[in-house]
Amino acid sequence: MLAILTAGLPLWVAAGIEIRTPEKERPVDLGRLLGGNVALWYQKRDLEAADVRNAVERWKPSLLRLPGGSWSDEVYWNGNGVRKGEDFDASKRQGPQWQIDYSEYAPGLRLGSADGSLSDFHGHLDVRALHEYVRDRGAAAIVTVNAGTGTPEMAAEWVKWAKKEGYRVDYWEVGNELDGEWELGHVGPDGKVVDADEYARRFAAFAKAMKAVDPGIKVGGPTASNDQLPFVETLIRESGELLDFVTFHTYPVLGGGKSEGERFAKADDVAKAVERIREWIAKYQPGREDEIEIGVTEWHKQVMETRPTVDLSSGLWTCLFIGAMAESGVDFANQWDYFSDVGAGGHGLFGVNGEGARAVFHAMMLWREHMGSELLEISGLPEGVAGFATLRDGKPRVMLINKTRRPVRIDGVALDGAELTGSVKAWRFSQREYFWNPLKQRPEWSHAAREIAVDASGFEVPGFCALVVSDESEELEGEFAGKPSLEILVPAEAPADLPVEGFVLVRGDDGAWGGTLSEVSLDLEGVGGASLKKVDTASSVGVFEVTPEGPGESRIKATADGLQAEATIRWTEVKQRDQVVWEFAGDASMSGLETSYQLAADSQARPNQTVAMMTLEAAEDVAEKNTLLAIKSLPEGLERERIGGVIGLLGGSPDLHSDDPNAFVQIVLQSNLDHWMPVGRVPLRKLAGSWEKLSIVLDDPRLLEAMGELYGIRFHLKSNQPVEGRIYLDDLGFILRGE
């Protein structure tokens, strides 16, 4: 079928889709590919909530991983002889290890430090409860044993106990993300850092001990923290037949401020990682290419739990990512994770406040319930639309993901040359099924993909939508629309120096209205102005922006087809004040600060002042070795949500020099919502023999939103030539917004 460009429809690109049966069958087990993670810190009431139980019954995951991400390297799975209730027998601690009596089972314990000291929280559930939850769901477990602060004996005892109790464990992972500095056990009590060779040695010791108990189990790792695959090549090379599977994690969208297109493109990175693993297996373990499995035991769009992890874009991204895993031949995968209550975003499939399923869950169900177990080839996709095709019970299913904001017309679908005809059943997941309300920080409405009918010979894929088309006949009817109403969604109050995003919602009886209004007119009275006079609500959600012009009020009115809505924004004056947090007053103030160079307190650079001094000797800008200063602990009482900038003094010795004329010091903020936010830079040439005053004002709403979760501030050396001399820092702090 030829792709045809349809004239007169500037918002549409029409194309014909061709799907073909490949010469070699390409099976995909969606149950194993759509697994999840369950964790010790979950509340039993959340797991047992009716909406969650019903959703998991639909899901039917084949594999659930436990006991919970980074906790895997902090937890003693069994606490018998040490723990009784919330009491712990300190006499059973020998250095960094606790002596467990494995003759019986008791809820375990969690370490807070590599030296063996205990955490103050050991979870709401225990290992037995997680195993029973997995069993009761009809699933198998993936267990991640503690290779960070645990021992091979501890892991072997878990294997023995699980077998005795009759718990089905399909895979045993050795450690979790031990390549990461955040992981307990990455640095041991002796200060030794786990590298690839050390991990390979640990893996061999654990695998031998565990397989001595049960030779039939599958053991794997290294549970790499990202799709750059740290430790993976060394493990494959060194582990021999002890290795049954390779696992890694991926949160591929790095850094904030990415465009939608950039985020969508990262969904394909998993295929590149899988290809590299297959090459290493073929190189180091030839003949075992079909034996060693590949798993992605944690995945989500990004680490930062911001709005793109919970809005509709996260669902469309998930559709793309699952398709990329299926096509690259990933054997099993586990989404991270069940629950989230971060607010601005979150990795959870569900919220914990009765808000229902989030977009990622609905996207997983679009694959689980409407796609099939054998991949087909697909071509003829128009620009901006991705697609996958499968057979389900011998019948074709085509998933089309429109990544653009405009509708796209498809001029028919053909399977092996035979065109689909007539009115057929389809399932749509769009803004009408799911809308994340950023003001309430929860879904305004959240529905599974909606069953509709389309004309197979020519149909429209709405903007920003995933649509699965079948060959099953379905009577073509318009959607029941009911009676619509308009609503304007804007904050009641906002600072007078930043624009705000607003929405026009067209509501029906149960969430979004099923019909289509003419364009909505938008009028604004008072201070400021709106970005649009006409708002497109074809998806039942229209978006606009209001920019203030100082304190006062904006009164907004939306009208369409006899309907009307009004809302008011009160713009408040923004006052700012500087707050010095770090004065670097003496050697004691250097405690807890990190640097790649020599750090000391200096009392000569400023009269009657002590400053932080970093001494550089042929210093080079090398990744992870160019940190002038890193502060990873902010003082208690600091009102993070009010932070609106950075202040300080940055100076240099007279002999500070680099042959790179563009060398500079980079200032980076770190937040749980965005772990890497460069906010300013100071040229090195300005620092030699002088001081520069820092006053970096944050005027990006995305950055200001992240300040409430701020946890660190960093200064990095950026130079393509070696640097000599000393750099000074003093009176570091923040600009605080508000009274």
pLDDT tens track for 171-211: 999 999 999 989 999 998 888 899 999 999 999 999 999 99
Domains identified in the chain, total number: 4
Please count the other Cβ atoms lying within 10 Å of the Cβ belonging to residue 88: 16
For residue 288, the SS3 value is coil
The verdict on 607 and 684 lying in the same domain is yes
The verdict on 312 and 404 lying in the same domain is no
Report d(CA 544, CA 550) in Å as an integer. 19
Q: Which residues contact 189 (CB under 8 A, 6 or more apart)?
A: 95, 96, 114, 115, 116
Report d(CA 247, CA 226) in Å as an integer. 10
Structure tokens at 42: 């979950």
Structure tokens at 182: 């955040």
**218-230: pLDDT as tens digits:** 999 999 999 999 9
- Residue 584 has a pLDDT of 92
3 is a domain residue: no
Whole-number Cα distances in Å, 587 to 58, 209, 592, 603: 60, 47, 11, 10
The verdict on 619 and 693 lying in the same domain is yes
The verdict on 514 and 608 lying in the same domain is no
- Residue 15 has a pLDDT of 73
Q: Is the peptide bond before 730 cis (omega within 30 degrees of 0)?
A: no
The verdict on 149 and 273 lying in the same domain is yes
CA-wise closest residue to 30 among 72, 4, 63: 63
Q: What is the CATH number of the domain that holds 251?
A: 3.20.20.80
DSSP for 476-534? --PPP----EEEEE--SEEETTS-EEEEEEEEETTEE-SS--SPEEEEEEESSEES-SE
Which of 371, 402, 436 finishes a domain? 371
Return the DSSP state at 119.
P
Q: What is the CATH number of the domain that holds 464?
A: 2.60.40.1180
Rounded to 5 degrees, φ, ψ at 520 are -90, 125
**677-698: pLDDT as tens digits:** 999 999 999 999 999 999 999 9
Return the DSSP state at 90.
G
For residue 537, the SS3 value is coil
For residue 72, the SS3 value is helix
Which of 371, 401, 431 finishes a domain? 371
Report d(CA 32, CA 233) in Å as an integer. 25
The verdict on 539 and 603 lying in the same domain is no
Q: What is the CATH number of the domain that holds 506?
A: 2.60.40.10
616 is a domain residue: yes
71 is a domain residue: yes
Q: What is the CATH number of the domain that holds 592?
A: 2.60.120.260
Report d(CA 331, CA 260) in Å as an integer. 28
Q: Has residue 5 got a pLDDT over 70?
A: no
The verdict on 300 and 389 lying in the same domain is no
6 is a domain residue: no
**582-611: pLDDT as tens digits:** 999 877 777 789 999 999 999 999 988 999
Pair 719, 686: CB distance under 8 Å: no
**629-647: pLDDT as tens digits:** 999 989 999 999 999 999 9
Cα–chain-centroid distance for residue 298? Answer: 10
Q: Has residue 656 got a pLDDT over 80?
A: yes
The verdict on 383 and 367 lying in the same domain is no
Pair 611, 562: CB distance under 8 Å: no
Report d(CA 31, CA 63) in Å as an integer. 8
- Residue 633 has a pLDDT of 87
724 membership: H or E segment, kind and range = strand 723-737
Residues in a beta bridge with 598: 615
Terminal Cα distance for the chain, rounded: 65
598 is a domain residue: yes
CA-wise closest residue to 227 among 307, 314, 332, 297: 297
The verdict on 227 and 191 lying in the same domain is yes
Task: State the residue range of the domain holding 363.
Answer: 30-371
Q: Please name the residue that has the structure tokens 């099923």.
A: 514
The pTM of this model reads 0.90
**79-138: pLDDT as tens digits:** 999 999 999 999 999 999 999 999 999 999 999 999 999 999 999 999 999 999 999 999
**141-157: pLDDT as tens digits:** 999 999 999 999 999 99
Report d(CA 203, CA 243) in Å as an integer. 9
Which of 572, 587, 622 finishes a domain? 572
10 Å CB burial of residue 416 (0-12, 13-18, 19+) is exposed
90 is a domain residue: yes
Rounded to 5 degrees, φ, ψ at 512 are -70, 145
**45-56: pLDDT as tens digits:** 999 999 999 999
Residue 591's identity, in one-letter code, is S
The verdict on 210 and 156 lying in the same domain is yes
Average pLDDT, whole number, for the chain?
A: 93
| % of the chain residues with pLDDT over 70 | 97
For residue 132, the SS3 value is helix
pLDDT band at 567; cut points 50, 70, 90: very high
**425-451: pLDDT as tens digits:** 999 999 999 999 999 999 999 999 999
pLDDT band at 480; cut points 50, 70, 90: low
Sign of the Cα torsion 34, 40, 41, 44 reads positive
For residue 331, the SS3 value is coil
60 is a domain residue: yes
Report d(CA 189, CA 166) in Å as an integer. 36
Around 466, how many Cα atoms within 13 Å sit in the side-chain half-sphere? Answer: 32
Q: Secondary structure of the chain: what % helix, strand, coil (to 5)? A: 20, 40, 40
Report d(CA 252, CA 241) in Å as an integer. 30
The verdict on 432 and 538 lying in the same domain is no
Q: Please name the residue that has the structure tokens 């920003």.
A: 464
**225-278: pLDDT as tens digits:** 999 999 999 999 999 999 999 999 999 998 777 889 999 999 999 999 999 999
Whole-number Cα distances in Å, 610 to 355, 501, 556, 602, 605: 52, 45, 54, 5, 8
76 is a domain residue: yes
Structure tokens at 723: 């640097």
Pair 15, 382: CB distance under 8 Å: yes
Around 491, how many Cα atoms within 13 Å sit in the side-chain half-sphere? Answer: 18
| pLDDT (mean) for 31-60 | 96
The verdict on 141 and 165 lying in the same domain is yes
Pair 671, 700: CB distance under 8 Å: no
